[in-house]
Structure 1
Amino acid sequence: MNLELFSQKLIGDDSLSVTKIIDRLAAWLSQQEDRGAGEAVACLLATRDDRVAEFAAQYLALLPRLHAEKNRVAQRLRGDESLVPAASRLVPWLSEQLLGEMIDDYLGSGEPYGPLFDIIYEVGLYQPALLRPHLSRIEDADVRFAMMSGSPDDYVPGFVDRWRRAQKAGALNLLARMRTEAAAQALLGLRADFSEPAEWETLVEMAGRLPDADERSGYAPASMGSVVDRGESPHVMGGSYPGELPLCPVCEKAAERVLTLSAAELPFPLSADPSFFWYTCACHALDFVTVKLAPTGLEVYYGPQGTAPEDNGHVVPGERALALEPHPNQLGISLDGTGGNSRHQVGGLPRWITPAPHPRCPECGLAMRFVASVDSGPTPFGHLAFEGTLYGFWCDACHVSSVQHQA
């Protein structure tokens, strides 16, 4: 049985939810020698079924790299208006030449919300510079908002003037979403205009600077992350973690290590390997986990700690790892996130679901730098067991990590 037939069998079973179909397809494909990449590509090069194409492209997007294969698939899907929306999942890996041709297809179609719209939406997130020359022809508000990332510096004086003349908060929101040094410096100069420091700090950090130190609010360069099997990357996800762990203050179930980054294998310098934790229960008692990585083990702030029982439950499906590859938008995506799309990231700036100030280190009191985010959604090994997105922050001087959860 091939992927097309297996997909159609699952799609035709009314008892299966979309989540169950995704997980069953992943379980079948991930057992293949190449983790199912060849089968997914072959299916996408042949299918005429838009439902099958969507599931196959969704799975292929979970796998790292494979640029040539993803471009070949997208080129084939481009030729069929019923199939081309599926190619939107592959936009982060597509060449600028192919994306430029797809943009021309979209503009030439005269359909603002036609079959190619999903492609344009993703291009706005990952390659906004390719769309910017066509700004006047883009009608969708979200796509135009996404295109704020990397906007020209000559936008800055106009936004600042709008703020000073009419106190238009939206002007500063747009300024922060430019994600550029010019925008950050302008916002740093407006501190006296704010009675609430948290609002100003959020804007400055979104633009790319810390409010209380001459540092970027994230680390460069930015990388996309894909969940792979243990041993395929040095950045560990799930599995056991030695010593005591944070405990839920309600049910006392232990948190699980979601991610440990190997400092030696990162493209930016850190003095230790940050580890990030999240709760395995559904109590929702706290929306953060903050720990210090001490020589004797974890020291948990703002809650109890203890050992994990054998039946503790898991956030990550098995012992896995996070493979990294360059992110196409190094400045940072401007449009707020939604969670549930398996869009993991290391370095760069956070794509908040709801913009918020960075947590402060409980040791030194300074704002912490963003270092990673783990999104909810499917993996080749099953779904991650939380909703929304986990944002990981790190104080390199104090070896303190903090996970903030939004959904």
Structure 2
Amino acid sequence: MIEGLVRAAVAGDEDALEELTAIAAAEPARLAGQLSLLLDAGVLWPPILYRGADGDLVRRIVEDVDAGRAADRLNHLFLILAHASDPHAERALRRWQESPPPGADRLYVGALAYAHEAGWTVAPDGGRRELCAPTAYRMIMNEVPGPAGGPACPWCTSPLWTVVDLDAGLPEVAEALAHTGWAGRLRIATCHLCACYTTLYCRVTPDGGAAWFAGNGRPEYLPDTARPEDPPAMLPAVGTRRASPFQASAWDEGGSTLGGRPDWIQDAEHADCPGCGQPMDYLGLVGGADLDFGEGAYYLHLHAPCGFAAVSYQQS
């Protein structure tokens, strides 16, 4: 079965490639023996295909990069190595961050910046820090009453939207938030309109406090609205555990997810904490399809040590 899918993907069958990607997300070891064929055929995208890359394949890629034989493919190969679980891959990216390989001058970011695409970063102490949870849960939208007074966006005057209201005392929530170190109630409030134009931050406290961050920077291109708009009258409840942390969907109804890995519509965009500048932990996404928007997704971030949450938005 796997061999047939690989042959079809090499021949350009996008359905086969999509099926292989789903296998790589859930059971990466099943593809390990076939990855060299994909590499030889130039099938380098999506890089999640190479999650199960073993030491031999990683060393082969690293040798090609060091020897200058891959200067025209560095972008894709750095992404592949960022997703690979073999420790040789991380060591190579760290080395190339300090001593860039041939061709790296054509790239816009350093080698370790590619780690964000794979959901990790290097902490200030030099250790690896995972930005995403290893488990994920469905988020099921429930209708709630519309806003009746309360805080409003200082830019467009629309009522602030409570995107999530989570109790870390619940086992499933505690599991999805474990990588963040958060304890207590977590409520994230934002402007559903202005968040579509820039990442918006709020200060959060373990008693459920969520306050607009005065340091949010209003972009010059933010349009003037004729009148405020009510936010979605929806609040997600945590549902069943997903089979894989990669099953969030920014496109499909039912794709809203707590924990796991983001389904980026564009490039990875882990928000930086406005307090310390470190990348924030990823919490989950609320898809536009679940809000009757049709497309687009709101991505949720948290940096517990500084008490900041953030909401960013992407669309095609």
Q: Same fold (TM over 0.5)?
A: yes
- 1:220 CA displacement: 3.4
Separation in 2, partners of 1:255, 1:128: 41
1:262 aligns with 2:167: yes
Residue from 228, 231, 239 that aligns with 1:314:
231
Separation in 2, partners of 1:197, 1:143: 19
Does structure 1 retain, via aligned residues, the 8 Å contact 2:160–2:189? yes
Pick closer, same or farther for the CA change 1:299–1:280 going to 2, 3 Å: closer
Q: Indicate the structure (1 or 2) with the bigger Cα radius of gyration.
A: 1
User: Which whole-Å deviations, capped at 9, do the CAs of 1:174-208 have from their partners, x for residues lacking one?
Assistant: 21132565533432332224688954453123344
Residue from 91, 95, 100 that aligns with 1:189:
95
User: Which whole-Å deviations, capped at 9, do the CAs of 1:250-290 have from their partners, x for residues lacking one?
Assistant: x3323412223322222124234333345333x67623111
Match of 1:341 in 2: 252
Residue from 123, 128, 131 that aligns with 2:23:
123
User: Which whole-Å deviations, capped at 9, do the CAs of 1:62-105 have from their partners, x for residues lacking one?
Assistant: xxxxxxxxxxxxxxxxxxxxxxxxxxxxxxxxxxxxxx7xx689
- 1:227 CA displacement: 1.2
Match of 2:211 in 1: 298
Gaps in structure 2 of 5+ consecutive residues:
219-227
Residue from 225, 232, 247 that aligns with 2:138:
225
Match of 1:157 in 2: 59
Match of 1:400 in 2: 308
Match of 1:289 in 2: 200
User: Which whole-Å deviations, capped at 9, do the CAs of 1:264-322 have from their partners, x for residues lacking one?
Assistant: 222124234333345333x6762311111157651423158xxxxxx84233x534413
Residue from 270, 276, 297 that aligns with 1:389:
297
The residue type paired with residue 230 of structure 2 is G
Pick closer, same or farther for the CA change 1:255–1:169 going to 2, 3 Å: same
- 1:395 CA displacement: 0.7
Separation in 1, partners of 2:251, 2:47: 21
Question: What is the TM-score of this pair, normalised by structure 1?
Answer: 0.55
Match of 2:76 in 1: 170
Pick closer, same or farther for the CA change 1:183–1:286 going to 2, 3 Å: same
Residue from 160, 180, 202 that aligns with 2:113:
202
Question: What is the TM-score of this pair, normalised by structure 2?
Answer: 0.68
Does structure 2 retain, via aligned residues, the 8 Å contact 1:376–1:388? yes
Residue from 194, 206, 211 that aligns with 2:122:
211
Match of 1:244 in 2: 151
Separation in 2, partners of 1:161, 1:116: 29
The residue type paired with residue 189 of structure 1 is R
SS in structure 2 at match of 1:340: coil
C-alpha RMSD of the superposition: 4.3
User: Which whole-Å deviations, capped at 9, do the CAs of 1:157-177 have from their partners, x for residues lacking one?
Assistant: 233333333243332122113
Gaps in structure 1 of 5+ consecutive residues:
1-99, 231-236, 305-310
Pick closer, same or farther for the CA change 1:369–1:376 going to 2, 3 Å: same
1:351 aligns with 2:238: no
Pick closer, same or farther for the CA change 1:406–1:328 going to 2, 3 Å: same
- 1:367 CA displacement: 1.9
The residue type paired with residue 395 of structure 1 is H
Match of 1:280 in 2: 192
Pick closer, same or farther for the CA change 1:192–1:240 going to 2, 3 Å: farther
The residue type paired with residue 366 of structure 1 is Q
Separation in 2, partners of 1:109, 1:164: 31
Separation in 2, partners of 1:116, 1:160: 28
User: Which whole-Å deviations, capped at 9, do the CAs of 1:311-342 have from their partners, x for residues lacking one?
Assistant: 84233x5344131404425xx58xxx983124
Paired residues in the alignment total 282
Does structure 1 retain, via aligned residues, the 8 Å contact 2:258–2:283? yes
SS in structure 1 at match of 2:135: strand
User: Which whole-Å deviations, capped at 9, do the CAs of 1:207-263 have from their partners, x for residues lacking one?
Assistant: 443233335232433214241548xxxxxx997699535x273x3323412223322
The residue type paired with residue 323 of structure 1 is G
- Identity, in percent, stands at 17
SS in structure 2 at match of 1:221: coil
User: Which whole-Å deviations, capped at 9, do the CAs of 1:345-366 have from their partners, x for residues lacking one?
Assistant: 3334433223345222111222
Residue from 253, 261, 272 that aligns with 2:158:
253
Pick closer, same or farther for the CA change 1:404–1:128 going to 2, 3 Å: same
SS in structure 2 at match of 1:274: strand
Does structure 2 retain, via aligned residues, the 8 Å contact 1:248–1:285? no
Separation in 2, partners of 1:367, 1:397: 12
The residue type paired with residue 211 of structure 2 is L
- 1:387 CA displacement: 3.1
- 1:147 CA displacement: 1.8
Pick closer, same or farther for the CA change 1:257–1:286 going to 2, 3 Å: same
SS in structure 1 at match of 2:169: helix
Does structure 2 retain, via aligned residues, the 8 Å contact 1:188–1:211? no
Pick closer, same or farther for the CA change 1:116–1:299 going to 2, 3 Å: closer
The residue type paired with residue 221 of structure 1 is P
